[in-house]
């Protein structure tokens, strides 16, 4: 039992993750020594995870506005207008640290948290995605982490009842001690029925809803703001446990309550639980908040104010209700079997007052808890530019066909079917394109609209050149949405980096953000929500800079879409975009030559937009149904994936002169798409492209049961497929 | 035809089921688990997929004992039609309306994928729009779909031709590879003795439109609705 009058020592301050100067700042702000409950509250509000103290300064530079943006960053999730009175609500968030310590529960609560962010805004979740990075396959912990995280994501999403329609899975030694588990949720709401966190009105009841409060997750957000070391596993008790059943009930109850007109403001209890949600509701509404903790539904007896304020028990919500509607609200929650308790009220004092057993445990200025959080302009150094590696200096493989076969069966490029078959990707009956393509596509209600969604970033590019890498991440998300026929509308960003107190890491962060900003501006693809995850380091080894981008786009008519699979024999295969044969930082260079070197491919945002707009127009005018973008592994991998998905081969007859064949096939030049089109229309399409300055070339024709590369090397689709499908299941069975 | 789709806390495919039934031409009403009676004039009761009560106990064990299940048992005893899909099948087994039980999948993982089923008989109100022996392309999404029963029950199901669907490959061959959850005799769905109650793990309700993968699931709903059009 922690008494509220326990003496505040420097050690105690340190244990709460506050630096001495941060503590001094707090003491100066309140004009006295804080109580232990107050110290707990400020540690929760001022840690990196909640205060964005290292990142806030730089996040301000991101473009967040567009005519279709209803709500940008700063709320539970971003909101965009998709026409006809409908809004798309989405966000991505990390649960990296907990997932490394307890993979199943870490992943479930990550999914639960992001779903809650979306339905807190009044939206019903219609799709989920994720972005996962694990350590090298040979690391002894990797299979266990893959197995637990995947089961956890499925365990939560499947039970909650949302289709998981897309994601990304990759491996790299730099994630050995810090895996990445980023979960994204997409929901649908009416534009005139969006709910926000800002409280209004003095004396209105503050209501606690959902599951009971326990001692789980206390200081979870503080853990997420520290580096790991060998003792990290001792932090297992700070990982929360997810209950998707409770969340499903909470979803239905919240949406029903919102419909009743009783809700003024709503905020989910995520990181730092009751503290963060109550402070945000008050501070955003310029109101004070008074809580009576005697009323909080608790799972365990004898919980102190300190514990209740810092608990991260899951599936809980805080609402400000319209006065007089308490009974109606309570009836809805009782119907769904959930706890409902009036635990406080709004005040005009601008103070955050917490009472327990008749005693004031905390009395703090509410605005300052957020606004006066430390803000750091941490020193950052720009990365040195790596040399451009000329294609001619990279050795050719003995056989391009064998190199391709190796790549399709490699850990990063192989089929992730083993993963996404554990996710219900078909529930709700609106999944038009399931995982395995360029982007997930779901129909909106009964149509005709559809939404396209994807998660992307190429961390090795970001490491080699943060600015270009940041640009590329946004461009690739934009390209993947374009490739299915969607008009890219907005992104959510999940910025995963190492320790920001190291200038080179801060340099990566600043550089990536610059690249992201440039690309978002050039592509009219603003940031509407996001999350920053720093301190992804173990024993001083940071992760690759990984700003995961979750993109969302709109299809006006979802029946008019394109997919990667070759659909029939005899189609003409066309390459859109310019190929220089860029092998620096390519998968070929890394996985065939064993070199992680050089500058990554530059992104020409003007060409990106021009090429993409051209491809999208071809899809929308129903001239093209088969499209795949070129990314990791270049043209060769794109062709192989199209052949495998359709079970149809192709003869690729043409390769440009003056370019080594392996550079043409495996170069990772940006802004490129492969199309398969009706042969009668191929000439028109090439002519059209030429007339508006879009580089396009005829590559060959679909057909047969092999992919035949320029020069005649053939590789059977069956063999490709066997290699592509077998690595992950074999690896997880301990056979690879 | 009038259908009642039961909603338990944790049901999550009730919307998909309502859409499939409506599209086939049935009137549909959702019925809350705590109700004691079915709507008047209910012809078909449907128990949809989901994770009733979180499936934290045995799947379907708590829902099988819900208030509304007394009404469902009475409806079935009168010869009324009952369809249970996925969690609904599990609930029917737990409530005693169908024999056997659904165990954890053989690989101990949740699996979601397209799946062919062989139609074992088409002389029932559930399957008359299919051909006997036809391989229909639907999907599965479950962690506990491994149909298990004692030898006696299995013998009776087979002897009385009460197996509705079996997992098969695209050519209609019932092979071990096609039986991914490890069900006994590759059983994907079964009938009650009087053929008025049917439970199945796969989801015909998710394959009713070309846009979302195919229309092979429609036959089941159209069979039901057309049976009633004639009877009425």
Q: In this model, does residue A233 exceed pLDDT 70?
A: no
pLDDT interval class at A383 (50, 70, 90): confident
Catalytic one of B14, B94, B120, B205: B205
The most distant pair of C-alpha atoms in chain B lies apart, rounded to whole Å, by 46
Predicted pLDDT at A4: 82
Distance (Å, whole) CA B105 – CA B90: 13
pLDDT tens-place string over residues A515-558:
999 999 999 999 999 999 999 999 889 999 999 999 999 999 99
Q: Does an H or E element contain A331, and which?
A: helix A326-335
A277 is in an annotated binding site: no
Mean pLDDT of chain A: 94
A243 touches chain B (CB under 8 A): yes
Phi, psi values for residue A534, rounded to 5°: -105, 180
The second-level CATH assignment, the architecture, of B2-231 is 3-Layer(aba) Sandwich (3.40)
Per the CB < 8 Å rule, is A159 touching B12? Answer: yes
Chain A / chain B CB contacts < 8 angstroms: 86
Min distance A627 CA to chain B CA atoms (Å): 18
- Please compute the mean of the pLDDT values over residues A64-92 and round it to a whole number: 97
What are B205's two structure tokens?
A: 């309700």
Let me know if B205 is a catalytic residue: yes
Is A426 close to B112, i.e. CB distance below 8 A?
A: yes
A561 annotated ligand binder: no
Q: What is the pTM of this model?
A: 0.95
What is the predicted pLDDT for the residue at A228? 64
Q: Is B144 on the interface with A (CB under 8 A)?
A: no
pLDDT over 80 at A175, yes or no: yes
Give the rounded percent of residues in chain A with a pLDDT score beyond 70. 97
| Structure tokens, B204 | 């015909």
CB distance from B203 to chain A under 8 Å? yes
pLDDT at A219: 67
A130 vs A435: CA distance, rounded Å: 11
The candidate with the shortest Cα–Cα distance to B97, out of B191, B200, B34, is B191
As a whole number, mean pLDDT of residues B73-92 equals 98
B131 phi/psi in degrees, rounded to 5: -95, 150
Per-residue model confidence as pLDDT tens digits over B113-160: 999 999 999 999 999 999 999 999 999 999 999 999 999 999 999 999
| Partner residue facing B112 (CB), from A159, A424, A558 | A424
**pLDDT tens-digit map of A31-61:** 999 999 999 999 999 988 888 999 999 999 9
* Catalytic position from the list B33, B75, B142, B203: B203
Strand order in the sheet with A288-292: A263-268, A316-321, A205-210, A339-347, A288-292, A351-356, A359-365
Residue A53: both structure tokens together: 């103290």
Residue A371 confidence (pLDDT): 81
Task: Judge whether A724 counts as a catalytic residue.
Answer: no
Q: Which of B14, B33, B75, B86 is catalytic?
A: B86
**pLDDT confidence of A216, banded at 50, 70, 90?**
confident
According to the annotation, is A316 in a ligand binding site? no
Evaluate if residue B102 carries a pLDDT over 50: yes
Across the range A434-445, mean pLDDT stands at 97
User: What are the residue ranges spanned by the domains of chain B?
Assistant: 2-231
What confidence tens digit (pLDDT) does each residue in A592-632 have? Answer: 999 999 999 999 999 999 999 999 999 999 999 999 999 99
Task: Categorize the per-residue pLDDT at B93 as very low, low, confident or very high, splitting at 50, 70 and 90.
Answer: very high
Beta strand A339-347 pairing with A124-134: unpaired
Is residue A215 very low, low, confident or very high in pLDDT (cuts 50, 70, 90)? confident
Is there a binding annotation on residue A94? yes
A95 annotated active-site: yes
- pLDDT given at position B232: 47
pLDDT in tens, A624-639: 999 999 999 999 999 9
Residue A729 contacts B, CB cutoff 8 Å: no
User: Which residues of chain A make contact with B18, given a CB cutoff of 8 A?
Assistant: none
CA atoms within 13 A on the CB side of B7: 17
Domains and CATH numbers, chain A: 562-736 (3.90.650.10)
d(C-alpha B149, C-alpha B63), whole Å: 20
| Residue A97 annotated as binding site | yes
**Token pair of A270 as six digits:** 């995520």
Give the pLDDT band (50/70/90) at residue A1.
Answer: low
Instruction: Name, in order, each residue with C-beta under 8 angstroms of B89's C-beta and a sequence gap of 6 or more.
Output: B47, B60, B98, B102, B189, B199, B200, B201
User: Which residues in chain B touch residue A245, judged by CB atoms under 8 angstroms apart?
Assistant: 9-10, 51, 53-56
The minimum CA-CA distance between A270 and chain B, rounded to whole Å, is 21
Residue A730 to residue A518: CA distance in whole angstroms? 42
Determine the pLDDT at residue A239: 72
ipTM: 0.96
- Taking an 8 Å cut-off on Cβ atoms, the answer to whether A248 and B208 are in contact is no
Name the B residues in 32-51 with CB < 8 Å from any A CB: 49-51
Cβ contacts of A611 within 8 Å, gap of 6 or more? A576, A577, A671, A672, A673, A694, A695
> What percent of chain A clears pLDDT 90, i.e. is strictly above it?
89
Output the pLDDT for position A220.
Answer: 61
pLDDT at A140: 96
């Amino acid at each position: 039992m922690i008494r509220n009058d326990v003496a505040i020592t420097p050690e105690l301050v340190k244990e709460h993750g506050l630096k001495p100067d941060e503590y001094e700042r707090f003491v100066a702000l309140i004009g006295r020594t804080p109580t232990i409950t107050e110290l707990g509250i400020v540690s929760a509000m001022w840690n990196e995870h909640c205060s964005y103290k290292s990142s806030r300064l730089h996040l301000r530079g991101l473009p967040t506005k567009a005519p279709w943006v209803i709500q940008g960053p700063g709320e539970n999730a971003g909101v965009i207008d998709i026409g006809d009175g409908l809004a798309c609500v989405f966000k991505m968030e990390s649960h990296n640290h907990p997932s490394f310590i307890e993979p199943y529960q870490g992943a479930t609560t990550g999914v639960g948290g992001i779903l809650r962010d979306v339905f807190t805004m009044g939206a019903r979740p219609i799709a989920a995605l994720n972005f996962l990075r694990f350590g090298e396959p040979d690391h002894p912990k990797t299979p266990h982490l893959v197995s637990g995280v995947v089961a956890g994501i499925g365990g939560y999403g499947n039970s909650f009842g949302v289709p998981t329609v897309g994601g990304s899975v990759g491996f790299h030694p730099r994630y050995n001690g810090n895996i990445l588990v980023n979960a994204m949720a997409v929901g649908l709401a009416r534009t005139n029925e969006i709910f926000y966190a800002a409280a209004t009105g003095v004396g209105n009841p503050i209501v606690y809803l959902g599951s009971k409060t326990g001692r789980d997750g206390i200081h979870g957000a503080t853990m997420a703001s520290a580096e790991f070391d060998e003792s990290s596993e001792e932090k297992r008790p700070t990982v929360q446990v997810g209950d998707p059943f409770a969340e499903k009930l909470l979803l239905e109850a919240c949406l029903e309550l919102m419909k009743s007109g009783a809700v003024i403001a709503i905020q989910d209890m995520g990181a730092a639980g009751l503290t963060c949600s109550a402070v945000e509701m008050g501070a955003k509404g310029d109101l004070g908040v008074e809580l009576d903790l005697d009323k909080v539904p608790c799972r365990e007896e004898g919980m102190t104010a300190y514990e209740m304020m810092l608990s991260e028990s899951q599936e809980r919500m805080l609402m400000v209700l319209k006065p007089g509607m308490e009974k109606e609200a309570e009836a809805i929650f009782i119907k769904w079997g959930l706890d409902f308790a009036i635990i406080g009220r709004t005040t005009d004092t601008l103070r955050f007052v917490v009472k327990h057993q008749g005693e004031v445990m905390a009395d703090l200025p509410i605005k300052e808890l957020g606004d006066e959080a430390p803000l750091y302009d941490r020193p950052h150094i720009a990365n040195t530019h790596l040399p451009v590696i000329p294609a001619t200096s990279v050795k050719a493989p003995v056989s391009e066909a064998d190199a391709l076969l190796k790549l399709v069966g490699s850990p990063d490029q192989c089929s992730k079917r083993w993963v996404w078959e554990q996710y219900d990707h078909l529930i709700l009956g609106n999944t038009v394109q399931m995982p395995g393509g360029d982007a997930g596509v779901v129909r909106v209600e009964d149509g005709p609209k559809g939404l396209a969604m994807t998660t992307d970033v190429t961390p090795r590019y970001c490491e080699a050149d943060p600015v270009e890498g940041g640009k590329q991440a946004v461009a690739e998300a934009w390209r993947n949405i374009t490739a299915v026929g969607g008009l890219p509308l907005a992104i959510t960003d999940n910025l995963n980096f190492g320790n920001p107190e190291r200038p080179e890491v801060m340099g990566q962060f600043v550089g990536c953000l610059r690249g992201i900003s440039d690309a978002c501006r050039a592509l009219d693809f603003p940031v509407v929500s996001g999350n920053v995850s720093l301190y992804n380091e173990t024993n001083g080894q940071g992760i690759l800079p990984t700003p995961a981008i979750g993109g969302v786009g709109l299809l006006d008519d979802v029946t008019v879409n394109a997919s990667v699979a070759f659909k029939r024999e005899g189609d003409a295969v066309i390459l859109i975009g310019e190929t220089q044969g860029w092998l620096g930082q390519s998968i070929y260079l890394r996985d065939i030559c064993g070199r992680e070197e050089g500058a990554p491919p530059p992104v020409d945002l003007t060409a990106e937009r021009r090429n993409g707009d051209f491809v999208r127009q071809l899809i929308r005018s129903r001239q093209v149904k088969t499209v795949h973008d070129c990314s990791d592994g270049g043209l060769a991998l794109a062709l192989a994936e199209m052949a495998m998905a359709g079970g149809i081969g192709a003869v690729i007859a043409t390769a440009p002169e003056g370019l080594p064949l392996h550079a043409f096939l495996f170069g990772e030049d940006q802004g490129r798409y492969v199309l398969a089109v009706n042969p009668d229309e191929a000439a028109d399409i090439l002519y059209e492209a030429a007339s508006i300055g879009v580089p396009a070339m005829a590559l060959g024709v679909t057909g047969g049961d092999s992919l035949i590369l320029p020069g005649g090397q053939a590789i059977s689709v069956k063999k490709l497929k066997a290699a592509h499908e077998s690595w992950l299941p074999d690896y997880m069975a301990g056979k690879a | 035809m009038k259908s009642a789709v039961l909603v338990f806390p944790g049901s999550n495919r009730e919307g998909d089921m309502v859409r499939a039934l409506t599209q086939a031409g049935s009137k549909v009403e959702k019925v809350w688990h705590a109700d004691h009676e079915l709507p008047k004039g209910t012809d078909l009761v449907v128990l949809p997929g989901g994770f009733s009560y979180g499936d934290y106990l045995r799947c379907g064990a708590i829902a099988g004992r819900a208030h509304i299940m007394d009404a469902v048992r009475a409806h079935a005893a009168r010869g009324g039609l009952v369809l249970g899909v996925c969690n609904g099948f599990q609930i029917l087994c737990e409530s005693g309306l169908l024999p056997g039980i659904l165990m954890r999948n053989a690989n101990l993982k949740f699996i979601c994928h397209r799946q062919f089923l062989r139609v074992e008989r088409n002389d029932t109100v559930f399957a008359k729009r299919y051909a006997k022996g036809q391989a229909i392309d639907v999907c599965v999404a479950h962690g506990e779909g491994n149909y298990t029963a004692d030898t006696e029950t299995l013998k009776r199901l087979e002897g009385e031709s009460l197996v509705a669907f079996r997992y098969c490959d695209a050519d209609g061959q019932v092979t071990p590879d096609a039986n991914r959850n490890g069900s006994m005799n590759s059983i994907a769905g079964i009938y009650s003795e009087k053929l008025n109650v049917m439970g199945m793990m796969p989801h015909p309700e998710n394959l009713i439109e070309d846009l979302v993968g195919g229309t092979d699931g429609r036959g089941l709903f159209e069979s039901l609705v057309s049976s009633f059009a004639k009877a009425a």
